[in-house]
Chains A and B, each alone.
Chain A
């Protein structure tokens, strides 16, 4: 129900929303919880295990009970706390974990069987033979217990992630945070102030109290407005700081557009990484419950939450109200309720010596509430007098306060444990546990408004001062400075179930039982009872649970300790953390300059690292890729083909010592290479295995250009930087990746020379195999290399990338005029297999130069990376699997890559494996299948027969072992 004259909602406007399919109304400023309470709906959820009816317990993000699903289909989001959902027109919310409806839930029968469902019941009960657990019990339990479900549809919402940087990050915008931000900002520091709520003010929004002579909420709004006007302050409302990470990095979740009926371009949420030189934790405190029988009935709430609903939202669960506490702060709830004209039936304070601070209300010092009565709504409470007498009072609302716990979570995110403070019977932050993070106000255990203002101002100034800003703490407004007195009380003695963890249905008895069964460590107790798990992570229950564990095990609370605090403080959707990473955002796309032209020819693309390369260029009437590939291979062998090879890594090296440097990174010698020549090189890792291969051209005395494979370009660049900086810094050279700067095309085939002669501005003249030099095309300077991966006479021509698209167009046009055309990766692969050229299929990280038949490329005249270890015993010799060619004995059988090789007559099992295949193709040139592979002592076995067995594909073929080079072994075609 609404209370006239109370609350900071806009009563002039009405907001319509749906809850469980029924239209409800609230006002701007309402949360879903306050609007439901105002409309008389106290039942907001069903509990996890017993499906007990539950109402809202808190007014903040710590809410364990009132969890809802908002939206539907791909926009549905489960487990949202009704206390944090701002209502807007069109909001659609549904209750969770109930069937068929919230009011009538079949599985509430579970509650009748509670004696059998205590802590660890599933470990004890659901035992059976074989797979009964995973096939029967687990699905049953998972169906019956639980929170909200995902829709199963792809998420249709947008999310973002972003970075921010500041001098001072202030976490929490209550009185301490506002003063901290003001002090730091006035000193000149760049300040970010994050506040989880939509409004600044913290508890001031929920209290009826004066700050600086005006209502606290007004004071906060005025200060927030002042901060908003400062250039060096960024206010971030609706932003929860979720984690404290190394070197001043904080994670924060901003609810950017989720509260709006029409979010426009705003994402639903934005996950921020905020890097702060200093941070101030002003996150306030969370109230804790007192356990007594049936203390989970809807209408039983935290005392601070009860008065927050009255003061901020003008709503209460009912007209008759009682308050039960063990501290002075609880009295404020009774006072505010009475002042609002509600009937305060009882102020029950468990302390005998307590004085009534609430004015004219029935006061019960030394009494305790022993039981809540009612079903889906609170109807009455039972009290017990100090002398044992009982009394029953009819109420619709009960505010309970067991004291306040500082919100210190972030200070423990790097492994520190909080410190127990007997004075307030609560844990306080271990100062200095997160470097650069200081706490102030209620988060540090200083609960009065005056103390919050003072500490905030001091700590804010201190943070700015540590960064070199001249500071004077901001002047302090006058405010409430009442002492905080309490006597600890965690649970009321008595029969029945007294609830600790509402979200996980954990009772006082469960915790005691865990201790009895020797789960005495707090971490064991947590996992045995499930206390402190799920979305609220025990924010309202953990301290009471471990206090009870401490009592039962005869230990002090500090000795019992706490479970580990880990990020995130509140749940963060993976969609927000991974924003931008779906679909094409998963990885960057690198496109060649010929991409559009290839796509226009409907070439299917294949991914090579981040690059997209054409597989083949289909022509009309070609029924599959194999036909296109065969045509493209024949085209290169008989006329001329064009292939974009820009994706290969290109590294330009300059300086007088490049030759010496290359001698050290390549196995073979490069310092003797003459300008205008190209050489093939092999690179090893330091452990002696092959890292990469490629050609390096010497353009002139001091300028070289290296190519790497597409796949290893980044690795080679990193390796060269390592070798130069760490091992050979005395060498005079510099190098840079120029992969993106040059577009490069292979022009391959017997008519390649003819094509080039028509294209280049001047005739090529004498340009032998492995030559390189500058050329000109249409007045554009280009580089020409006579190198061949196909085995034909071939050239690679490189132009600045901006000319790539037009050069490709021109090359293809001229090739087609000569009976050729473009070819893709499939044909490129066949051409190189026919020639026995290696790729990373062969140099896969476990093969040596010896294995590949390149042992003569490891120069004896010099040291190089990997040389020493390549000479280790076991890395050379007949026991090694050596590269060979394979072809079916009958010329027809199928060959596959990744198959194993066996001697004829041997069983096809692991022990008898003689090697494996790495590449396979159909060779249109030779008219038979070909493969490359590694065979034990293979070079000595040319002409022998081996069985190829592909267990996965069910293929078996008898093969002849050959030299890897199947086509033109003398190399006449590429030289002439």
Chain B
């Protein structure tokens, strides 16, 4: 498996640390309530198909990425920096 890091280019998956669903980007307000925090921390989909998850280029540039990929075909549609997503 190879992931194209926006900073470093295409690299083998061994350079990356896998974290989990990109859901973790949407941290609730401290006052958002138990349900919001429970969902944020614990509830995850298990999609057969397209998914977005977080990878950390630990043996590379140290950037956190959102990788857009398909759990069925293993196709990787692309990777973006989590930092850049805040500019949107």
Contact = CB atoms under 8 A, between A and B. Distances in A.
Interface string B27-69: 1101000100100010000000000001010100011100000
A718 B30 contact: no
Nearest to A863: B30
A715 to B, nearest CB: 10
Nearest to A721: B62
B15 to A, nearest CB: 12
A721 B82 CA distance: 10
Contact of B41 (A721, A730, A869): A869
Contact of A725 (B58, B63, B74, B76): B63
Nearest to A868: B30
Contacts of A717: 62
A414 B75 CA distance: 11
Nearest to B42: A687
Given A718-B17, A869-B37, A726 B82 contact: yes
Given A722-B56, A868-B30, A247 B76 contact: yes
A248 interface: yes
A249 interface: yes
Nearest to B2: A247
Interface in B66-88: 74-76, 81-83, 86
B19 to A, nearest CB: 8
A721 B1 contact: no
Contact of B12 (A249, A435, A714): A249
With a 10 A CB-CB cut-off, give which of A714, A863, A868 has the most chain B CB atoms: A868
A725 B82 contact: yes
Contact of B74 (A275, A414, A687): A414
B25 interface: yes
B24 interface: yes
A247 B1 contact: yes
A725 B62 CA distance: 10
A328 to B, nearest CB: 40
A359 interface: no
A245 B82 contact: no
A730 B86 contact: yes
B2 A275 contact: yes
Contacts of B34: 872
Nearest to A163: B12
B16 to A, nearest CB: 11
A718 B34 CA distance: 27
B30 A725 contact: no
A714 B58 CA distance: 9
Contacts of A868: 28, 30, 37
B83 A725 contact: yes
A727 B64 CA distance: 11
Contacts of A863: 30
B24 A726 contact: yes
B41 A687 contact: yes
A522 B22 CA distance: 40
Nearest to B61: A721
With a 10 A CB-CB cut-off, give which of B25, B28, B30, B58 has the most chain A CB atoms: B30
Interface in A730-788: 730
Contacts of A727: 27
A863 B30 CA distance: 7
Interface string A239-273: 00000011111000000000000000000000001
Nearest to A867: B30
Contacts of B28: 868
A863 B29 CA distance: 10
A124 B54 CA distance: 51
A246 B1 contact: yes
Given A249-B12, A730-B86, A868-B30, A722 B64 contact: yes
Contacts of A867: 30
A893 interface: no
A729 interface: yes
A343 interface: no
A430 to B, nearest CB: 14
Contact of B2 (A246, A687, A722): A246
Nearest to A248: B2
With a 10 A CB-CB cut-off, give which of A247, A414, A863, A872 has the most chain B CB atoms: A247
Contact of A729 (B17, B56, B83): B83
A431 interface: no
A686 B40 CA distance: 10
Given A726-B24, A726-B25, A686 B41 contact: yes
A-B pairs with the 10 shortest C-beta distances? A247-B2, A246-B1, A725-B83, A726-B82, A246-B74, A729-B83, A725-B64, A868-B30, A729-B86, A725-B82
Given A246-B2, A414-B74, 11 more contacts: A247-B1, A247-B74, A275-B2, A275-B12, A435-B75, A717-B62, A721-B62, A722-B19, A863-B30, A869-B41, A872-B34
Interface of B: 1-2, 10, 12, 17, 19, 24-25, 27-28, 30, 34, 37, 41, 54, 56, 58, 62-64, 74-76, 81-83, 86
5 contacts: A273-B12, A726-B83, A867-B30, A868-B30, A868-B37
